[in-house]
Structure 1
Amino acid sequence: MSLIALGGLSLGACEGRVAVHGNPIDADELARLAPGKQSKADVVGLLGSPSSTPPFDDNTWYYMSDRESTLAFFAPETVERQVVVLLFDDQAVLGSVRLVGLESGREVEIVSRETPSFGQSPTVIQQLLGNLGKFNKEEGPKR
């Protein structure tokens, strides 16, 4: 009997942990967005401040959220991603709403090459010996 209870407890301990990053926007809030009618202030009142804006474009707002699941010691896996892209016109009126999900994302390839630096490439020994005597020079008498 105790073996069954121990097995049940150990299975319960393997339950995954879900973490939500950002502030997901539900379908009701998205339905209340009215392109052509709402200003930036109206959108902030409805959804809050955007998660991100491009540095040189005040008319594009992003609301982003991720849901990650982690099981035991394995790396977290993103199971859901929501990016709401809002485009405003020059009069700060909402122009369009676009919803982007996890299926639109792609892995970014990491480039392994290194950029060469021109000039000297001292060895470790040259670096160690090059600093001898540089910092402990005696100065003249202080007055």
Structure 2
Amino acid sequence: MNITGRKTRAALVACVLMMTVGCTTLYRNHGYIPSDDQLAEVLVGVDTRGTVFDIIGPPTAGGVTDGGGYFYVQSRFQLIGPLEPKEIDREVVAIQFDDTGVVSNVERFGLENGNVVALSRRVTQDNVRDTTFLRQLFGSIGRFDAGDFLGEG
């Protein structure tokens, strides 16, 4: 076999390999939500903002609503080859505080068929506050700029 034939075969193998690897589905997680074990350590009616911060860590978003709750957000993105990343899952843990800064609600929200659903809830009252903020968090699924995640935004 001559040198040109070897180079052609090597180039063909390289192209097939790159196409195969380039079309592989990858998953990337962004954000942080506490585990169920960590959330079990947070006592409704006992813990304060400071103890929650010590147990779980800093929130993804906090103090953005009237109640000044802590929100932990985690998203999962699917990346297929050169296509734009697609957000396929989002989960939110919301910890609400009463006027004195004591934990009043601990809730975990997720998506089911595109709708926000409560996955778990430990509350001192039965009404859910600040659902508009949660709807905004979940409502932006699929609406993001890939450059934000690549450091170009």
Taking structure 1 as the reference length, what is the TM-score of the superposition? 0.60
Q: Label 1:30 to 1:66 Cα distance change in 2 as closer, same or farther (>3 A).
A: same
Shift of 1:95: 0.7
On the 8 A contact 1:65/1:82 being kept in 2, the answer is yes
Q: Which runs of 5+ in 2 are unaligned?
A: 1-9, 117-137, 142-153
Q: Label 1:37 to 1:81 Cα distance change in 2 as closer, same or farther (>3 A).
A: same
Partner of 1:102, secondary structure, is strand
Residue in 2 that maps onto 1:28: 37
Give, in whole Å, the separation in 1 of the partners of 2:104 and 2:33: 21
Structure 1 position 63 matched with structure 2 position 57 = no
Shift of 1:97: 0.7
Give, in whole Å, the separation in 2 of the partners of 1:95 and 1:89: 6
Give, in whole Å, the separation in 2 of the partners of 1:21 and 1:66: 5
Residue in 1 that maps onto 2:125: none
- Which of the residues 43, 47, 64 maps onto 2:56? 47
**Aligned AA (2:39):** L
Give, in whole Å, the separation in 2 of the partners of 1:102 and 1:65: 12
Q: Label 1:93 to 1:9 Cα distance change in 2 as closer, same or farther (>3 A).
A: same
Q: Label 1:75 to 1:102 Cα distance change in 2 as closer, same or farther (>3 A).
A: farther
**Aligned AA (1:95):** S
Give, in whole Å, the separation in 1 of the partners of 2:64 and 2:17: 52
Shift of 1:7: 6.0
Pair member with larger Rg: 1
Q: Could you say which structure has the higher strand fraction? A: 2
Q: Which runs of 5+ in 1 are unaligned?
A: 109-143
Shift of 1:107: 6.3
**Aligned AA (2:93):** V
What is the aligned length?
107
Identity of aligned residues (%): 25
- Which of the residues 78, 82, 85 maps onto 1:76? 85
On the 8 A contact 2:93/2:107 being kept in 1, the answer is yes
Give, in whole Å, the separation in 2 of the partners of 1:7 and 1:74: 18
Residue in 2 that maps onto 1:96: 105
Shift of 1:79: 2.1
Give, in whole Å, the separation in 1 of the partners of 2:24 and 2:88: 16
Q: Label 1:107 to 1:20 Cα distance change in 2 as closer, same or farther (>3 A).
A: closer
**Aligned AA (1:97):** V
Shift of 1:10: 4.7
